[in-house]
Structure 1
Amino acid sequence: MSVLITGADGYIGWPTALRIATRTDDRVVLVDNFGRREWVESVGSKSAVPIADINERLEAAEETLGLRNLSFVEGNLTDRAFVDELLSVHEPETVVHTAAQPSAPYSQINGERANFTQHNNLQSTRNLLWGLDENGLSDTHFVETTTTGVYGAPEFPIPEGGATMENGSERDEVPFPAMAGSWYHLTKSHDAANMRLAHKQFGIPISDVRTAIAYGTETEETAADPRLATRFDFDYHFGVVVHRFCAQAIAGYPMTVYGKGEQRKPFIALEDAVEGLARLALTDPDERPDDHVVYNQVTRAISIVEIAETIADVADEFDLDVDVKHFENPREEDETHKMEIESDRYDDLIDGQSTTFEEGIRQILGTLIDYEETVVAHEDRFLPGVLDTDEGDDTTIEYEEESSPSETVQASTEDD
Structure 2
Amino acid sequence: MRILVLGGDGYLGWPTALHLSDCGHEVAVADNFARRGYDHEMGVQSLVPIEPLQQRVDAWREVSGKDIAVYCGDLVDGEFTVHMIREFQPDTIVHFAEQRAAPYSMIDRKHAVYTQHNNVVGNLNVLFAIEEVNPDIHLVKLGTMGEYGTPNIDIEEGWLEVTHKGRTDRVLYPKKPGSFYHLSKVHDSHNIEFACRIWGLRATDLNQGVVYGQETPQTERDPRLATRFDYDAIFGTVLNRFVIQAVLGHPLTVYGSGSQTRGLIDIRDTVECIRLAAENPAESGEFRVFNQMTESFSVGEIAKVVANGYDGAVDVEHLDNPRVEQAEHYYNVVHTGLVELGLQPHLLSNTLIDSLFQVAEAHKHRVDLAAMRPTVQWRTASSPMRDQG
TM-score normalised by length of structure 2: 0.92
Paired residue for 1:340?
332
Paired residue for 1:289?
283
What amino acid does structure 2 have at the position aligned with 1:53? Answer: P
Gaps of 5+ in 1: 387-398, 401-416
Q: Which moved more, 1:167-176 or 1:344-353?
A: 344-353
1:55 aligns with 2:47: no
Paired residue for 2:71?
73
Instruction: Quote the offset at 1:244 in angstroms.
Output: 1.2
CA distance in 2 between partners of 1:178 and 1:260 (Å): 24
CA distance in 2 between partners of 1:327 and 1:35 (Å): 31
CA distance in 1 between partners of 2:187 and 2:256 (Å): 33
Paired residue for 1:278?
275
CA distance in 2 between partners of 1:260 and 1:109 (Å): 23
1:118 aligns with 2:113: no
User: What are the equivalent positions in structure 2 for 1:384-399 lying under 5 Å apart?
Assistant: 384-385=374-375
1:300 aligns with 2:269: no
User: What are the equivalent positions in structure 2 for 1:347-358 lying under 5 Å apart?
Assistant: 347-353=339-345, 355-358=346-349
Paired residue for 2:16?
16
What amino acid does structure 1 have at the position aligned with 2:371? Answer: R
1:379 aligns with 2:369: yes
Q: What SS class does the counterpart of residue 360 from structure 2 fall into?
A: helix
Paired residue for 1:33?
32
Instruction: Quote the offset at 1:330 in angstroms.
Output: 8.3
Contact 1:163/1:173 (<8 A) preserved? yes
Instruction: Quote the offset at 1:82 in angstroms.
Output: 0.3
CA distance in 1 between partners of 2:344 and 2:95 (Å): 23
What percentage of residue pairs aligned between the two structures are identical? Answer: 36
Paired residue for 2:266?
269
**Distance change (3 Å), C-alpha of 1:72 and 1:327:** closer
User: What are the equivalent positions in structure 2 for 1:129-278 lying under 5 Å apart?
Assistant: 129-135=127-133, 137-258=134-255, 260-278=257-275
Contact 1:20/1:281 (<8 A) preserved? no
CA distance in 2 between partners of 1:87 and 1:258 (Å): 43
Contact 2:158/2:289 (<8 A) preserved? yes
Report Cα offsets for 1:99-128 as digits up to 9, x if no partner.
100000000000000010000001110001
What amino acid does structure 2 have at the position aligned with 1:293? Answer: R
What amino acid does structure 2 have at the position aligned with 1:32? Answer: D
Among 309, 316, 322, the residue aligned to 1:314:
309
CA distance in 2 between partners of 1:197 and 1:344 (Å): 24
Contact 1:20/1:282 (<8 A) preserved? no
TM-score normalised by length of structure 1: 0.86
Contact 1:272/1:350 (<8 A) preserved? no
Instruction: Quote the offset at 1:360 in angstroms.
Output: 2.2
CA distance in 1 between partners of 2:201 and 2:323 (Å): 42
Equivalent pairs, count: 376
CA distance in 1 between partners of 2:324 and 2:234 (Å): 21
Among 85, 88, 95, the residue aligned to 2:86:
88
Contact 2:273/2:343 (<8 A) preserved? no
Paired residue for 2:385?
none
Indicate the RMSD between aligned Cα atoms, in angstroms: 1.9
Contact 1:264/1:339 (<8 A) preserved? yes
**Distance change (3 Å), C-alpha of 1:253 and 1:350:** farther
Contact 1:40/1:238 (<8 A) preserved? no
CA distance in 2 between partners of 1:147 and 1:115 (Å): 19
